[in-house]
Each structure stands twice: as structure tokens, then as C-alpha cells.
Amino acid sequence: MNRKLTIANHRLEYALLSDVGLVRSMNQDAVAAAVAGSEEVWQQRGHVFVVADGMGAHAAGELASKLAVDTLPLSYQKHRWRPPPDALRKAVHDANARIYARATANEEFRGMGTTLSALVLVPQGALIAHVGDSRVYRLRDGTLQQLTFDHSLVWEVCEAEGITEDEVPAYIPRNVITRSVGSRPEVEVDMEGPFPLQSGDTFLLCSDGLTARTRDQELGTILGCLAPGEAVQALVDLAITRGGQDNVSAIVVRYDQAEGTPQSTNPAPSSAKLPGAAYLWAGLSAAVFAAAGSLAWGPPAALAGGAVGALVAIVAAAIHRHAHATWPRRLDGRPLGRGPYTTCPCPPDQQAAQLFDATVRQLQEVAQAENWPIDWPRFNALADQARAAASSGDYCGAVRRSCQIITMVVDQTRTGRRETAG
């Protein structure tokens, strides 16, 4: 499941997973990745990752999220002559227009929409476009930070009243979002970053099916102890063991710089070659040709050649100017957005191992009480290995074994359900 890529001055390892859960019959989440295939593409556009959580009756939510993750990477590439932040924002607006058009054209899809969280890694750093309550996190040096603001009623109340999420009154619904892509003709997009990249940075994009059932400490511990392929599976399965009532989606991306490579800096326009310069030279050449034509063939040829040359030069100048535009910045000089919004220390220590051991013990109690079809000898062997690893100070090893137990329980429970249904 791990996908690895080495390009230019960095290595990328990533994995993505979307699961329907245990209750719903349809998966309204969608995930996508579009990684750069060459150094030139890396310099100009970078790597793109996106998660979406759709909403709407019947198949509307499924369609909305699929349209979002299909449209955004292609649209971002289509606007390649814009600076990456502008192109990313425009891509979200394009996705909004496409979803809204489908919704208004078909009564069954009316009112459909989706969350959307997109991460773009470019040499200048990590860029984020965000609408809704899906999230983007970054784990760095054992600390997990949420880089996006939830467009939910709960978070809006927290910001307005200056209170924490735990202090929000119980009568405030937890599942109401205040923004979505495609439900209205226009959409307001939050932009965050660019956050300079550091070797070892690990990013998580996920739907609320994951975050509603887990704690930040658990997310950060899994990201720090497991490879991306193992991590997405463990994250999804952990949420499923706690009810599995919603679809669950996760993308994990780990970035490592080659030795001797400087860390990324705050944004500057890409230095990659752009076609505007070529067209500019073509326009100037046409103008020179026009001047020569006036001597050889007279004024009509000169006028025609001059008009073509002027038109090409004007278009080229516009492309060249737009492509070399400075990245959008806040007026005070800081990057876009206000993130990070939350910070949680997640060191792989004894407390982390105990946290996952407690989860395993709770899972064991429930499975035994409800007579789940579990391979108990293997369960107990893995649990013993996890506790032995923790005793020896191998806390990541302990977490890894605990996550293997969680995945085993989910797999065997699903198999048992299918056999019973069959």
C-alpha cells in the first residue's frame, strides 16, 4: 500500500485509504493523489493530495465527493501559469462550479455538496485549500498540529465565544458544517501556508469519520510510529472499532529531504522555464519580420506581420506577468491563513504505549462479551509482544503490535458478518 517516490532533492512516501465503515451501504468519501513525475513538474506544480466528504440524498454525496477529487488535481494543473496558491484556490472554485451545475441540472442531486481539503507540496512549502470539516494535520518532531480550521457550528461557536470545544454546550449539534463545496453558486475557500518543509514532516488528510472517533494524541502516535501504508490502515481501523458508523478516509504523506539539501523557504515564484518567454520572443521576431516586410513587400505585409507580432507579444506579456506574479500574502507579510489551530505533543513514550494497550484491553472485553469471531491465540500473542516491547522501551514497537491487533479484529469481524449474512 505504501507508494514511494524519489525526485529532485526529496523522497516521498504516501498512502491513501477510504472505507465505507460498518453501518453505511455507500461511501460518500473520496480521496486522490497526483504526484509530480519529474523534477520540472515538481518545481512548477508539486504534489497534490485531496480528501472530500460528500453529503446529499441517495447517491448525491458520493457524486459530489468524486467530482471534487476528480476536478481539483486536473484544474490545478490546467491553471499552471498561475502561482500555485492562485491555481489551487481557482481549482476549488472550478470544483464548486462543476458540482453546483450537476446539482441544479438534476433534481435528485439538488443541494448536494462536499467538504474538501487539499494539500499541495511544492519546493516553497506546503499549501492548503480547505472547505468544511475534513482536516489536514502535520506531525513534526513528535508534535501534531492541525493546519485547518473546521467550518463547523462547534468551531464557529468556539471562536465567537472564546471557549474550547469541550466547553461548547451539549445542545449545539456536532455534525453541522457551515461551508461546503457545490451547495451554492460561490464558495469561500480558506488558504493556509505555505508552511516550509522539513525532513521528516508527515501530513495527514482525513474526513471527520476519523477525527470524530479518535484523539489527536492517537493520530500523532500512529503517524510517528508507522509507515504511511500501515498508518492509514491503523487509523481507519481504529475509528471503525469505535462504531464504524461513518465513512472513514485518510491520506498519509511523509516528506524527507536528501542529505545536504537546505530546508524549504518561504514562498518565491518558481524559477522553472515558462512558455511566456518563448512567445515573447516569437512576438518580437514577428515584429522584426514586419519591419523587413515593409522593405520587401510594402506596407500591407508590414501591417499584417506587425499585427500578428503585436498580438502574440501582448498575450505573451500577460502570461509572463501572470506566471511570475508574487504569491499572495497577508498585508502584514505573514503567510496565508492563521494555522496551525491546535497543537498536541505526541512523543512515542510509555504513555503512548499505555494508551494503545488500554484500547486493546477495551476491545478484548467487548469482543469477548459479544462473542466476536476472533483468533484469540493470535490476539494474545500480539498483545504479549506489545507489552514486552513497551517493557523494553520500544514504544513504537508496542504501538505497532497494538495496531496489528486492531486491524486483525476489524478484518475478522467483517469476515464473520459476511459469513452470517451469507
Q: Where are the domains of the chain?
A: 3-261+337-344, 275-323, 350-421
Measured CA distances, 342 to 222, 250, 254, 334, 339 (Å): 18, 19, 20, 18, 8
What are the residues facing 48 on neighbouring strands? 34, 120
Q: What is the dihedral of CA 180, 68, 32, 246, to 10 degrees?
A: 50
8 Å CB contact between 265 and 198 = no
More confident of the two residues 297 and 179: 179
3-class secondary structure, 162: coil
Backbone φ and ψ for 325, nearest 5 degrees, come out as -65, 150
pTM, two decimals, is 0.85
Q: What is the pLDDT of residue 305?
A: 46
Reported confidence tier of residue 285, pLDDT bands at 50, 70, 90: very low
Q: Are strands 47-55 and 29-34 parallel, antiparallel or unpaired?
A: antiparallel
Q: Mean pLDDT over residues 165-191, rounded?
A: 94
3-class secondary structure, 186: coil
8 Å CB contact between 243 and 15 = no
Cα–Cα distance, 214 to 53 (Å, whole number): 17
Query: Which residues, in sequence order, are CB contacts of 27 under 8 Å at separation 6+?
Result: 18, 19, 20, 62, 247
Q: How far is CA 202 from the centre of its chain?
A: 12
CATH of domain 3-261+337-344: 3.60.40.10
pLDDT tens for 218-254 read 999 999 999 999 999 999 999 999 988 899 999 999 9
pLDDT at 289 over 60: no
pLDDT tens for 25-54 read 899 999 999 999 999 999 999 999 999 999
pLDDT at 382 over 70: yes
Residues constituting the chain: 422
8 Å CB contact between 247 and 20 = yes
- CA-atom Rg of the chain in angstroms: 25
Q: Mean pLDDT over residues 202-222, rounded?
A: 98
Share of the chain above pLDDT 70, in %: 81
pLDDT tens for 296-351 read 444 444 444 444 444 444 434 443 444 444 555 443 445 799 999 999 999 999 99
What are the residues facing 232 on neighbouring strands? none
Q: What is the pLDDT of residue 295?
A: 39
Q: What is the pLDDT of residue 317?
A: 42
Q: What is the pLDDT of residue 387?
A: 98
More confident of the two residues 208 and 417: 208
Reported confidence tier of residue 260, pLDDT bands at 50, 70, 90: low
Mean pLDDT of the chain: 86
Cell numbers 505573451: residue: 316
The residue among 77, 174, 155 whose CA lies nearest residue 118 is 77
Helix axes 350-369, 376-391, angle to 10 degrees: 160
Share of the chain above pLDDT 90, in %: 73
